[in-house]
């Protein structure tokens, strides 16, 4: 393996600094997609990558060998709770919540959960399926933007709508047409009507 030259190290550091500065600017303007952490946390992490790349230059190169990117300003540290596009994220979250709450499969599950025993509720995962709506509603009320951002893209809420539909099919198999939980084992004609 060929040993890296000073020119190689300078070129790698320059590319890394440039890439991380662009990433920081992107997060500042557009935000990220991290489902758990605010943009500010990720921006500060990217800032640390810039600092690391500059320190690598200091440790491995002579000052006259530093790439011009070394002299670019290091991004400032930001509040860890910073979020880009807050209003947009909140608006998309409210739209997704509205779609969920009007969905016929969701409404069926909401009405049916009390009619399932614990075993069948666990088997169908109805609590988890319904909880995605509760979690989103709570996130909107409490300003939890990373949680709201999870529901921002249409593919995410389409997955949730598919979960409602799939769970409903399982619940309907258990409850039967009359909406009462069917007993396990062999059924008599009377079990279907009483």
- Residue 179's pLDDT band, with cuts at 50, 70 and 90, is low
The pLDDT value given to residue 149:
94
Q: How many CB atoms lie within 10 A of CB 5?
A: 10
User: Is the predicted pLDDT of residue 189 greater than 60, yes or no?
Assistant: no
User: Average pLDDT of 113-124?
Assistant: 92
Record the pTM: 0.77
**Main-chain dihedrals φ then ψ at residue 150, nearest 5 degrees:** -60, -25
Q: What rounded mean pLDDT belongs to the chain?
A: 90
- Residue 154's pLDDT band, with cuts at 50, 70 and 90, is confident
User: Is the predicted pLDDT of residue 194 greater than 70, yes or no?
Assistant: no
If you search the block for the tokens 């200091």, which residue do you land on?
Answer: 58
Return the structure tokens found at 151.
Answer: 């529901």
Q: List the domain boundaries for the chain.
A: 6-71, 86-182
If you search the block for the tokens 């810039």, which residue do you land on?
Answer: 50
116 CB-contact burial (10 Å; exposed 0-12 / middle 13-18 / buried 19+): buried
d(CA 45, CA 82): 13
The pLDDT value given to residue 177:
55
d(CA 45, CA 175): 50
Q: Do 164 and 101 form a contact (C-beta atoms < 8 A)?
A: no
Question: pLDDT tens across 6-56, in order?
Answer: 999 999 999 999 999 999 999 999 999 898 999 999 999 999 999 999 999
Sign, CA dihedral 121-125-129-132, equals: positive
Q: How many CB atoms lie within 10 A of CB 44?
A: 18
- Residue 108's pLDDT band, with cuts at 50, 70 and 90, is very high
Return the structure tokens found at 84.
Answer: 């880009």
Question: pLDDT tens across 73-101, in order?
Answer: 999 999 999 999 999 999 999 999 999 99
Closest C-alpha among 105, 101, 108, 103 to residue 179: 108
d(CA 109, CA 156): 19
Closest C-alpha among 54, 38, 43, 53 to residue 78: 43
Q: Which residue has the higher pLDDT, 38 or 1?
A: 38
The pLDDT value given to residue 182:
46
User: Is the predicted pLDDT of residue 188 greater than 90, yes or no?
Assistant: no
């Amino acid at each position: 393996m060929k040993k890296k030259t000073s020119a190689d190290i300078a070129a790698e550091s320059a590319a890394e600094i440039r890439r991380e500065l662009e990433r920081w600017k992107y997060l500042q303007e557009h935000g990220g997609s991290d489902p758990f952490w605010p943009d500010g946390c990720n921006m500060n992490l990217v800032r640390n990558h810039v600092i690391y790349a500059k320190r690598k230059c200091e440790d491995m190169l002579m000052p006259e060998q530093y790439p011009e990117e070394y002299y670019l300003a290091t991004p400032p540290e930001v509040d860890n709770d910073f979020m880009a596009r807050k209003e947009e994220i909140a608006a998309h979250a409210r739209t997704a919540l509205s779609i969920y709450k009007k969905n016929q499969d969701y409404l069926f599950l909401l009405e049916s959960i009390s009619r399932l025993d614990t075993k069948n509720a666990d088997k169908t995962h109805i609590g988890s399926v319904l909880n995605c709506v509760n979690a989103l509603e709570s996130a909107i009320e409490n300003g939890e933007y990373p949680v709201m951002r999870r529901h921002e893209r249409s593919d995410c809420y389409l997955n949730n709508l598919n979960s409602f539909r799939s769970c409903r099919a399982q619940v309907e198999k258990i409850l039967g047409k009359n909406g009462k939980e069917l007993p396990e084992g062999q059924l008599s004609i009377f079990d279907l009507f009483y």
